[in-house]
Amino acid sequence: MARSTDPNTLFQAARSGDRGAIARLLSIVERGGEGSRRVGRIAYPHSGGAYTVGMTGAPGAGKSTLTSAVIGHLRALAIEVAVLAIDPSSPFTGGAILGDRVRMQDHATDPGVFIRSMATRGHLGGLSLATPEAVRLLDAIGRRWILIETVGVGQVEVEIAGKADTTIVVVNPGWGDSVQANKAGLMEIADVFVINKSDRKGVDETRRDLEQMLDLSDLPHDAWRPPILATVGTTGSGVPALWDAVLAHRAHAETSGVLDQRRAYRAGEELREIVANRLRERARQICTGERWDGLTEDVVAHRNDPWSAADAMLDGVL
Ligand SMILES: Nc1nc2c(ncn2[C@@H]2O[C@H](COP(=O)(O)OP(=O)(O)OP(=O)(O)O)[C@@H](O)[C@H]2O)c(=O)[nH]1
Ligand SMILES: [Mg+2]
């Protein structure tokens, strides 16, 4: 089954649990373009049942280790889970992070777990569209819990990390001194804070720092205040409490209407991005040929200004 390249056939196979088919569909999504759009059209009507949990934080904070521990906790409760590890650095399609493979290997043969590292196709516009598409695919084939690991470094990565239904921000003791993470951005998207590597010193100070930052941020009166948990990813200590915090946030988001608001906002953002990408594609198509050359020459020779030339190019297009 998984040998087929027809998205419909692959999708049917994926829905009945064929892991090869899931992997092939994700590769199509990762490549983007028309193939990805076809998969998206097939998957969309079947999606909407999954809940997504983002795990983000500075490089090396222990996101993969924690993710693996969370998977272990969920599997002990007989809950199935899919994991997407977004790799912002690798330009290679299908490039898996070796470290993730090693750390998450324990779960590699468990049919209740699906783990996939996704490369970013070398450009960030790709990442912000590819991630929701991949999530939707996993959703459509029946995965109810989807964990998404991203590195919270730059603004774009943090924005992507914040697109989960519940976002866990992983920090370490001494986080206050670290310059690697986009702190303000992470503060904004956190639903749950976890101080991982709490076997090291400085946990209390870090907790105080976070509490202080939360006090200073003007959370609305009846809003959710992100709880601060402590874990040791390597032993799994604190992981059940971390998961309980995720469940508590989910319950809050569902009953308060925050979840619906977030999802509606995300749908609008995604649509806007799709439209923007289409317009960029269209721009590439029209900015060529004789008329274009003539207009460019006029600008170069100062016979025309670039704005008027652009107006002339777009005349009848928009
Ligand atoms: N002492 C200690 N080490 C930990 C803990 N959790 C993870 N580590 C170690 O920290 C290192 C980084 O862990 P990862 O899980 O790869 O961190 P990550 O955030 O996924 O890293 P990137 O994906 O590269 O950003 C590994 O050597 C882990 O074994 C912990 O609670 N305590
Ligand atoms: Mg990792």
What is the structure's pLDDT at 122?
46
Output 313 or 217, whichever has higher pLDDT: 313
Q: Does the Cβ of 199 fall within 6 Å of ligand 1?
A: yes
Q: Quick one: which ligand is closest to 84's CA?
A: 2
The CA distances from residue 64 to 55, 102, 170, in Å, are 9, 10, 11
* C-alpha 77 – ligand 1 centre gap (Å): 24
Confidence of residue 98 (pLDDT cuts 50, 70, 90): very low
| Digit-coded pLDDT (tens) for 195-211 | 999 999 999 999 999 99
Nearest ligand 1 atom, CA 85: 23
Nearest ligand 1 atom, CA 196: 31
pLDDT beyond 70 at 85:
yes
Q: Does the Cβ of 64 fall within 6 Å of ligand 1?
A: yes
Q: Does the Cβ of 233 fall within 6 Å of ligand 1?
A: yes
Of 268, 61, 81, give the one whose Cα is nearest residue 168. Answer: 61
| Digit-coded pLDDT (tens) for 272-292 | 988 998 898 889 999 999 999
Dist CA 70 CA 109 (whole Å) = 16
Confidence of residue 95 (pLDDT cuts 50, 70, 90): very low
Residues near ion ligand 2 (CB < 5 Å) are 63-64
| Digit-coded pLDDT (tens) for 18-45 | 999 999 999 888 888 888 899 999 999 9
* Sheet arrangement for strand 51-57: 113-119, 81-87, 145-151, 51-57, 166-171, 192-195, 228-230
Q: Does the Cβ of 99 fall within 6 Å of ligand 1?
A: yes
* C-alpha 71 – ligand 1 centre gap (Å): 16
| Digit-coded pLDDT (tens) for 144-194 | 999 999 887 777 777 777 789 999 999 999 876 665 567 778 888 899 999
By alpha-carbon position, which residue is closest to atom 13 of ligand 1? 62
Confidence of residue 96 (pLDDT cuts 50, 70, 90): very low
End-to-end distance of the chain based on CA atoms, in angstroms?
A: 44
- Exposed (0-12), middle (13-18) or buried (19+): which is 73, by Cβ within 10 Å? middle
* C-alpha 66 – ligand 1 centre gap (Å): 8
What is the structure's pLDDT at 69?
95
What residue has token string 């601060």? 228
% of the chain beyond a pLDDT of 70: 87
- Residue 51, strand partner residues: 145
Q: Does the Cβ of 65 fall within 6 Å of ligand 1?
A: yes
* C-alpha 88 – ligand 2 centre gap (Å): 11
What is the structure's pLDDT at 48?
94
What is the structure's pLDDT at 123?
45
By alpha-carbon position, which residue is closest to atom 10 of ligand 1? 62
pLDDT beyond 60 at 298:
yes
Q: What is the DSSP string of 47-92?
A: -S--EEEEEEESTTSSHHHHHHHHHHHHHHTT--EEEEEEESS--S
* C-alpha 151 – ligand 2 centre gap (Å): 8
Residue to substitute in 55, 56, 65, 237 for testing ligand 1 pocket (most ligand atoms within 8 angstroms of CB): 65
* C-alpha 314 – ligand 2 centre gap (Å): 45
* C-alpha 126 – ligand 1 centre gap (Å): 27
pLDDT beyond 90 at 316:
no
Q: Does the Cβ of 153 fall within 6 Å of ligand 1?
A: no
pLDDT beyond 90 at 108:
no
Q: What is the DSSP string of 128-145?
A: HHHHHHHHHHHHHTT-SE
Confidence of residue 93 (pLDDT cuts 50, 70, 90): very low
| Digit-coded pLDDT (tens) for 213-269 | 888 887 766 689 999 999 999 999 999 999 999 999 999 999 999 999 999 999 998
